[in-house]
Amino acid sequence: MKLLDAGLGWVQGSARATLHGGDPAAVGESMPTGATSSRGPTGFESDPLGFRLVEVDIDVVDSLVAAADVCFQLCDRSDLPAPAQHAARAVKEQLGVAVGRLAAAQATEVLERAGGPGRELPRGIERLIGALLAAPPTATGGEREDQQYRRWLAAKAVDLDSARVERFTRRWRSKLERIRLTEGEGR
């Protein structure tokens, strides 16, 4: 990241901030509020296990969802012994939450690639993710923000303040830039 900052004439830490939806600062400017500088130990430099995101191949996601479906079927069996039924309900609930979050992340990825301002969502994607977008956001915190972001990407968000629209626009453009950089413009 330091080389990218230097090559672009940005203050150290700007590339990292931009990668996470922030704004870069040119040399001679101060870093925007909330941005992090790479001068002190951060991320992998101080804690190799301190990351929050993992890039996973879509085949791994599909395999996990398929395995979860089989697990859900097993958990719903009426012939399970009584002690196992309680454990099966708990497993089903925990796995359901985790797979739901994974499905939401996958939907966000699809919407970032196909939706956004000025883009009409293809019908196939609308049918596939429509139920996820139909209900108003019900979660709290970061999950609610992600629900609203997905609705914004699909042009289904209403009553968003200008600060949120600006934040969503930066997040979406940052994602498109990361896609362009990692997958190339020809794809």
Can you give the pLDDT at residue 7? 65
Query: For the chain, which residues make up each domain, given as ranges?
Result: 2-45, 58-183
Report the C-alpha gap between 15 and 37 in whole angstroms: 9
Distance (Å, whole) CA 55 – CA 62 = 14
Of 31, 161, 146, give the one whose Cα is nearest residue 23. Answer: 31
Q: For each of the chain's 187 residues, which pLDDT tens digit applies?
A: 676 666 677 777 777 776 666 677 776 665 555 544 444 444 455 678 888 888 888 899 999 999 999 999 999 999 999 989 999 999 999 999 999 889 889 999 999 999 999 998 888 888 888 877 877 777 788 888 999 999 999 998 888 999 999 999 999 999 999 999 988 765 4
pLDDT score of 43: 46
**CA-CA distances (angstroms) from residue 96 to 42, 64, 93, 109, 166?**
33, 12, 5, 20, 33
pLDDT for position 126: 84
pTM recorded for the entire structure: 0.66
